[in-house]
Amino acid sequence: MFLFIFLFVYLPQIYLSVCPVKFQFSGSACLQGTNASALEKEIGHEQFPVNEHYFGLVNFGNTCYCNSVLQALYFCRPFRDKVLAYKVQPRRKESLLTCLADLFNSIATQKKKVGVIPPKKFISRLRKENELFDNYMQQDAHEFLNYLLNTIADLLQEEKNHERQQNGKLLQNGGGGGDGGEGGGGGGGKEIQQTWVHEIFQGTLTNETRCLNCEAVSSKDEDFLDLSVDVEQNTSITHCLRGFSNTETLCSECKYYCEQCRSKQEAQKRMRVKKLPMILALHLKRFKYMDQLHRYTKLSYRVVFPLELRLFNTSGDATNPERMYDLVAVVVHCGSGPNRGHYITIVKSHGFWLLFDDDIVEKIDAQAIEEFYGLTSDISKNSESGYILFYQSRD
């Protein structure tokens, strides 16, 4: 109860221009505020994409962290298609994925083109499954995205393993089986199965370390479902990505144990993308722990994100370094800290840019996206700034 009071008191400071009053405890109250036909009119009957639906999601008490991510994922088409395909498969026992599939399906099969849906079953399943989300507090959208993708991947892996057992085709993984990155390890344990979550979001990084004494280079591949990059003031995503793959020297306390020299040595380390994912999810590390304050604070820095992106500084043996990406969705954080404030999402759909703010959906101009880059002044931390970017590859 205390938390609610706190949030309500805090509200007036959080909400500036874009974020209208939210955090309503009862979802149904939000329904009245929207004027669905306005959006339909604005887009125009002729222009309205066939078979597309723009539905807001009811907020069930600080669930905008969840709503914003769900909307972004809904407009990641390869992901939406897989979730909808999962829906039509034979019924399974309820899981976070079946609830997501039901939700996506209910949006996709609405008679109306625009409106509001309460993601009630999904939220209650989420609260049941993970105590981190079992409350009415604001959560980190990136943490939720991570949890959701990993949970879905685990479920799909389990199903695949189960199917294999059913088919009596349990492969012996004597050592030749590993086509993933993991060389020799494991032995016996569960085989890592590629699922459609991996097909869509997984990329590979290579972590190269060069010993400055003997010049031996050791490299290790690591898979990722999203990339977290540091942010700096007045920069761009390309800058953040460059910083990510910059060469770092490991010296003094951070020396590296070189297998060749059999001792700790100074080394140079760099991380580069080796396999580019189909959908690149970029998380901007805007929440930074401040030791003096004993809490996280928000870096509202202005970081320009382009509508089209090409990754530079991929590794020399990258499989698909030329991939061009288009921005398809942005989860935006509004406010001053991770556990307060609000999340909204902007998405690109059939050439339109739309803003999803829980139950409200609006059409916006492409130029309006600039408003979500962040702030050039460090004084105010209260910004509406891009937090998770979803880039989809053209091929």
Ligand X SMILES: *[C@@H]1O[C@H](CO)[C@@H](O)[C@H](O)[C@H]1NC(C)=O
Smallest distance from ligand X to CB 33, Å: 9
Among 37, 109, 260, 263, binds ligand X (CB under 6 A): 37
Q: Is 376 a binder of ligand X (CB under 6 A)?
A: yes
Residues 303-342 that bind ligand X (CB under 6 A): 312-313
Handedness of CA 160, 165, 169, 172 (dihedral sign): positive
Q: Is 342 one of the annotated active-site residues of the chain?
A: yes
Annotated catalytic residue within 19, 64, 258, 334 = 64
Q: Which stretch binds ligand X (CB under 6 A): 57-65, 123-131, 241-249, 317-325?
A: 241-249
Among 246, 249, 263, 319, binds ligand X (CB under 6 A): 246
The answer to whether 58 touches 119, Cβ cutoff 8 Å, is yes
Query: Among ligand X, Zn ion, none, what does residue 269 contact (CB within 5–8 Å per kind)?
Result: ligand X
Query: Among ligand X, Zn ion, none, what does residue 242 contact (CB within 5–8 Å per kind)?
Result: ligand X
Q: Is 249 a binder of ligand X (CB under 6 A)?
A: no
The answer to whether 391 touches 339, Cβ cutoff 8 Å, is no
The residue type found at 314 is T
In whole angstroms, give the CA distance from residue 105 to residue 1. Answer: 35
Q: Is 127 a binder of ligand X (CB under 6 A)?
A: no
Q: Is 207 a binder of ligand X (CB under 6 A)?
A: yes
| Nearer Cβ to ligand X (89/376) | 376
Q: Which stretch binds ligand X (CB under 6 A): 30-38, 72-80, 124-132, 194-202?
A: 30-38
Q: What is the DSSP string of 216-240?
A: -EEEEEEEESSEEEE--TTEEHHHH
Q: Which stretch binds ligand X (CB under 6 A): 93-101, 179-187, 242-250, 283-291?
A: 242-250
Q: Is 254 one of the annotated active-site residues of the chain?
A: no
Q: How far apart are the first and last CA of the chain?
A: 50
Burial call 368-378: b when 16+ CB within 10 Å, e when fewer = ebeebbbbeee
Residues that bind ligand X (CB under 6 A): 35, 37-38, 41, 207, 209, 220, 222, 233-234, 242, 246-247, 256, 269, 312-313, 376
| Residues marked as catalytic | 64, 342
